[in-house]
Chains A and B, each alone.
Chain A
Amino acid sequence: MQERVKKPQFDVVGTRPVRPDGVDKVTGRAKYGADLKMAGQLVGKVLRSPHAHARIKSIDVSKALALPGVKAIVTRDDFADQASEFVPAGEMLINYRDVVRNILAREKVLYEGHAIAAVAAISEKAAIAALDAIKVDYEVLPHVIDEIEAMKADAPLLQEDMITQGVTPAPTKASNVAKRVEFTLGDTAKGFAEADVIIEREFKTKAVHQGYIEPHACLASVSEDGSADLWTTTQGHWVKRAHCAKLLGWDVTKIRVTSSEIGGGFGGKTVIYLEPLALALSKKAHRPVKMVMSREEVFKSTGPTSGGTVRVKMGAKKDGRITAAEGEIILQAGAFQGSPVQPACMCAFANYDLENVKVIGFDVVSNRPKVAAYRAPGGPISTYGVESVVDELAEQLGIDPIDLRLKNAAKEGTKAAYGPKFGPVGLVECLEAAKESDHWKAPLGPNQGRGIAAGFWFNIGGETTVSLQLNEDGTLTLMAGTPDIGGLRASLCMMAAEELKVDVHKIRPIIADTSSLGYNFLTGGSRSAFSSGMATVEAARSIVKQACQRAAKLWEIPEEAVTWEDGEVRPAGENAGKHKPMTLSDIGKIAGKTGGAIVGYAAISAQGAAPSFGVHIADTEVDPGTGKVTVTRYTAIQDAGRAIHPSYVEGQFQGGAVQGIGWALNEEYIYGPDGKLQNAGFLDYRVPVASDLPMIDTIIVEVPNPRHPYGVRGIGETPIVPPMAAIGASVRRASGVRFFELPMSPPKVLKAMKAAGKA
C-alpha cells in the first residue's frame, strides 16, 4: 500500500499497535447484540405485515395470549400516540409521530414487513405459534413503490394529511411529497449562457441496504420498580435511551443502556426497532425479553438508504472552467418522511469551486421500509450523477478528468453552494496524489477501462463525554460513550498515550453504559475519532494537571513550580528544589495519599469538525459475452487530516469503497408487482464477496484539521461517495457504453453493449 503519511512527529500517533478489542473478536469471545443471556429470559418475536399497503381494521390477540408459554403481547394499543416533533438522529431527522408508527403500525401498514405486534414466549416455537394465532383484519389498499410514480397526482396516498413543506404557497392537497429543498448560489442562467459545452443527464439509483453482518438484537429486563436494563447492538445508546424513554413515557434515568460489540452499523444502527418492544414486553411479562431479527426481517423492515432519480446539468468553457451547475434530486424516504435529500443536495456540487449553482430536492414517501442513514447519507446518490457528468464533460472537452477536476476543485476559501466557506481541505492534494500514483499510470489490458471520481462529506462533532482514570498501579482506564465501529478504542488509547507518554497497552478502553458516563451523541457523521478523540485529549491533559498538583503537594512547592516534560512531572528549574521526577505510574501509586483517585473527565460539545475529500481510481474489465463487470484494480485516496491508526483509516477507505462497488454493480432492492421485496437475503441481494474484489489500495493524504489537537478529520463516510461514478467512468471506457442507471448488473450491461454494437 502506498502511503503519503508524513513522517510522524509523534511517538504513538501514526503507528499501528494491535487493537485492544482485537483478540476477543478473532477468538469469538467478544459479545455482540445476540450474545447476552439472562436467567429466565423470554423469546420476543414480531408479527409483520404481508401487505405493502393496508388499513388495519382490527388486531385480535386473544387466541395467541391463551396459548401455552405465551407471556405477553404488545400492539399499537400499548404505545401512546406521539405529536409531530423532529429530533436529530445521526445526520438525519426523525419524527416521533412516525417512529411510534414504524415500531408498531397504527392506522395502516405501509410496507411489507411493517411490524404489527410483538410477542414474548418461553420458546421460539411458542413465540412463532403465537404469531400465527394473532388475527389481523386488513383492508388492502393500492400501493406505490417507485418515487416518480409516488409523486403523481393520482398515486395512492400513504399519509392522507401530508402537505409538502418548503413550497409557497403551501399546497392545499395532500401528496406523497413530504418536502422540497433548494440551494442556490449565483445565477445559473447566466452561467449556462457563458458555457461552450452543456451536458444534461438523468440518473437512477436503487435502494440499497447497509448490509451489516450482525442483525438487530437486544435484551431488555424491566425490574418491578420500573427501572430497566437494555443491552443492544447500536451506534448510539444514549440516543436509543432517549427514543425508548419518549415512546414509553419513562424517565431516561430509569433505562440503563449498554451497547454490545457491534457487527457493522454504517448508519443503520442509529434507529430503534426492537428496543421499545422488548422493554414493553419485559414490563408486561415481568421477565427479561430477548429479540433477534432474522436476515429477512433486516432487509424488509430496517435500513435501507434511498433509491432515487438525479437530474444534473453542467456547463463548462472550452478550457474546462465549469460555469454553471444545476441538480434535481428526488429521493425515496420509505414509508415515512425523512430521506437524506437535504445532505444529498448539499453534497452534490461540494467538490467544486463554482459561482453558479442551483439544487432542488424532493423527499418522497412510498410503500417501502423507512430509510435509515447509510454512510454519508444521500451523498453517494447525488455525487454519482454529478461526477458522471463531470467525466462526460472531460470526455467532450478532451481534457484529462484529473486536470478538469483540478481546474475546478474546492479549496480553502471556496464558498460551498450550501453556505459555508471551506477551511483547509485536501481535494487538490488528493487529485495530485491520484495523478502521481502508480495506478493512474499503469497500462490497461483488453476490455479494460479506468475511471476516476471525487467525493466529499461534511462530518460532524457534537456532545461527547470521556472519562480517563489513572489507576493505583499507574495503568489507565478509558471510558468513552461512542460505540466503536471502526477501531475507535485503539485510536482513543493512542491519543491518550501520546499525551501521557505511556505505553498504549497500559490503557484499557471500554465503551461505557448510559448510567456510567455523561451524554454522548451517537457514532455517526464520522464523529467518533474526532469528538471522542478531542475529549480524550482534554481528559488526558486534566490528568497531567492533576499529576502536577499532586507532585506539588508531595514536594510542598507551589503548583506553578511543577512542570510536565517527556512523560515526567518535574520541578521547574533550580528554585523549585531538588526533587526526583515522577512518572504517571509513580503518581498513580501515591494518589490515595495525596487526595484520592485521579480522574480526567471531559464533557464537551465538539466543534470544528472538518470535511474530508476523497478521490477513487477504478479499473474494470467488461466481458463482452456476458456483460459482467470485474473490478481489476482500485485505489482509494483520501484526506484523513491525521491518521491516528493508519490501518483503521485504510480499513475505512477499503470498506467504503467495497460498499460503493456493490452499490455500483449488483446491489438493489427488487420489488414485484405485488409490492413485496423479492430478494430479502444475501443470496439475491448481492454484496461483493472477498473473491469478487482485488485488494483495495489506499493512499492516505494528510491536510490536518486545525480545529483538532491532532488534526483529525472524520474519514468513515467519504469513501462510499466516489465509487459509483468512478466505476461508471471505468465501465464507459472498458465497454464503450455510458450507463445512467445503477446497478450496472450484467443483464443491463450486456443489453446496452448489444444495442451499441459492442457485445
Chain B
Amino acid sequence: MSATIALLGQPNSGKSTVFNALTGLKQHVGNWPGKTVEKKEGSFTLNGREYEVADLPGSYSLTANSDEEVITRDFIASGKADVVCILADSSQLQRSLYMMADYAGINVPSFLVLNMADVAADQGKKIDTAVLEEKLGIPVISFSATDNKKYDAFYKAMNRALENKSLINVSGLEEELEKIDAYNEMRRLIPEGKVENYSSMWLGVKAIENDKQVVEKLKEVLSDADEKQMEDIQRSSNGALDTGNSKFAWIDALLEGALNEKKSQVSIGKLDRLFLSPVWGKPAVVITILLGLIGSFIPALPFMGLGAGIGALKAPVASALASAGASEIITTIVCNVIIQSFQYIFQMLGFVFGVLFVFGLLEEVGIMARISYVFDNTMAKLGLQGKSVMPFLISFGCTMGGAAGTRVIDNWGQKVLTIALAWAVPCGAAWAVVPTLSTLFFGPGAVVVIIAILATMVLHMWITAKIFGRKLVKKEDRYGMIMELPPYHKPKWGALLRYVFGRTKDTFFRVAKVVLLVCTIFWLLSYSFVPGADPILCKIGKAIEPVTKFFGMGWQLFMAFIASSVGKEGALGVISALFTDGSVYTAFSDAMSGAAASGDLNSILLANVTRPEALAFIFAITFNMPCVVALAATYQETCSAKWTAKIAAYYTVGALVIATIVYHIGLLIW
C-alpha cells in the first residue's frame, strides 16, 4: 500500500532539496488547478513500498493570505496526505518553528525535520531532538538535506509517524492560548469535530486571526446566534497579534532545554556607539560628511592638471589653424569655445569622480545607513517620515533620482514637500561646477565655501519646510520605523571603482553635450559679426545689468545663472562663451604672435569678476532649480503643475535672494 507524504515549510527551509533527494528523477512539475503556483509531485520506493511525495508551495504560515497558503491548507485538509513532513531551519529555530506552531492542531500525522543542522552546528548551536520529541509527541530529527547519505533517519522518522499516526501534542500551546480571553470565548462556540481534520483549537485560533476561509467554514456549521457572537469576539480581540504571541511563547517553551546556544549579548559596536548616540550621533555624521566632501577634492587634483593641460593647447592650436589659413571665426570657435569648454569639463570631472567615490565608499562601508538613521528624527521635525532621508541622499547624486525616490512615500503632501526640499540638496552637477569655480576664485578657501554651502542648504531646507510644510503636511501621528543596519564591512574596491568610473564616464558625455551646446549658442549670440556693432546678447545684457548688479552679478554671470536652470553645467558653457577677451582680434593676433596668454579664461575671469560677485554667483547657481529634467521628474511625481511651478518659481527667486545676501556679506569681507 502506498503512502503520501507532503513537505511543508517556509521558503528557504530546504524543501526543494529534500524533494529532489527523495524522488530523484521520478518527479513531475505542473501547476495547481486554476493557480499559477508551481505543483511538484514525485514518488520513490523504499523497501518495496511506494511513497508519493507532494512538495507544497512555500509560505510563511497557514493563514489564508496567499494562493500558496490556500493551496497548502486545502491539500492537507483534503486528507490526501498520510503524513506531513514539517521542515524548519535549525540555524534560526525561534523563527522557523512558526510554521510548525501554525500547523499544530491540524489532525493529520506529522514529523518535524530540523534542516540545515550543519549551519546550526557552525553557529555553535546544539539541538537535543530527544527533548523536542518528548515535548511534541511526534518524531523529530536533525539533519542536512544536502547530505544524500543521511536520509536513513528521515525514512525512519517518516515511518514512525505513519505507523503511530503521531499528532503534535498541543497542550503547551493551549495553555498559552488560554491566557487570551477572546480565545476562551471562541473555543466555547466551536465544539470538537465540527470541521474535518481541524481541531477546535486550530479553528478557534484561525477565527480570531480572522482567516476568511475558516470563518466561512464556521459560518456554515454555527447557528446564527453563535455566528454573531463569533463576529463580536473577532472585533474585540487583538487578532493575530495575541495568537502570534502565544505561538512564539510556546516555541520558546519547547526550545527551553532543547536548544543550547551561546547567548549572544546584545552588543553595539564602538563605531555605532558613536554614530547612534543621541548626543554625538549628529556631530559625528556631519563631520564624516564634511571630511568626505573635503577628501573628495583630492582625486580632483590630477583632473585639474589635465584640464589646465588642455587649456594650454589653445595657443599652439590657434597658431596652427592660422598658419593653415583658417578664418578667424573658426580659430576662435575652436579655441574659445571647444578647447575652453573641454578644459572646464575635465576639471569638473575630477570633482564628480571625487564625490561619487566618497559617497560610494560611505555606502559600501555601511556608514550611509547610519546617516539615514541619525537624520530620522530631524526628518520628523521637518514634518517628514524617516524614509525621506533616502531621496535626499540620492539627490546629492542626481535630483531627478531623488524625486523618483520619493515614490516610497505614500502621503502626497509629504512627497511634494520631500521633493521641494530635495531641490535644495546640491546635485552631482553642482558638486562639479561649484568646486571648480570655488578653487578658481578662492584657492584653498574653496573648502570654506563648500562648508558655507552645506550650512546654507540646511537653513534653506528648514525655511522651505516651514513655508511649504503648513499647506502640505498635517500634524498627524507619526509612526516609528525599524531599521536593520548592515554590519560594517570592507569595501569591494573593484565594484566601487567600476561604479565610480562608469558614472564619471556617463557624466562626461552628458556634461560635454550640454556645455558645448550652451557655449556655442551663447558665443554666437555674443559674437559681433559686424565689426564695431554690439552683438545682441551684449545689448540685452547691458540693458539688464543695472538690475542684475543688485543680485551681485554682472550680465554675463546672470546669463550663466539663467543657463544653469537648464543644467548646472550649462553655467560653465556660458562663462566659456562670454568671458572671451572682448575683441576677437586680440585673441587672433595673440595667437598669431604665439602668445601663450591668449584667451586665458581664468585670468580674464579673475580680472573681470570680483570675489563677492563670484561668491554670489556660486550660491545662486547652487540653489537655483536643479535642471529641466528634475523639473519634469517633479511634475511626474507630484502630478501637479501648480506645485511644480510653485517650487520652480520659489527656487529661482530664492536663489537670487541668497545671491544678494551673499554678495553683501562678501562686500563686507573683501
A complexed with B: no
Write the residues of chain A forming the contact surface with B, with a CB cutoff of 8 angstroms.
none
Write the residues of chain B forming the contact surface with A, with a CB cutoff of 8 angstroms.
none
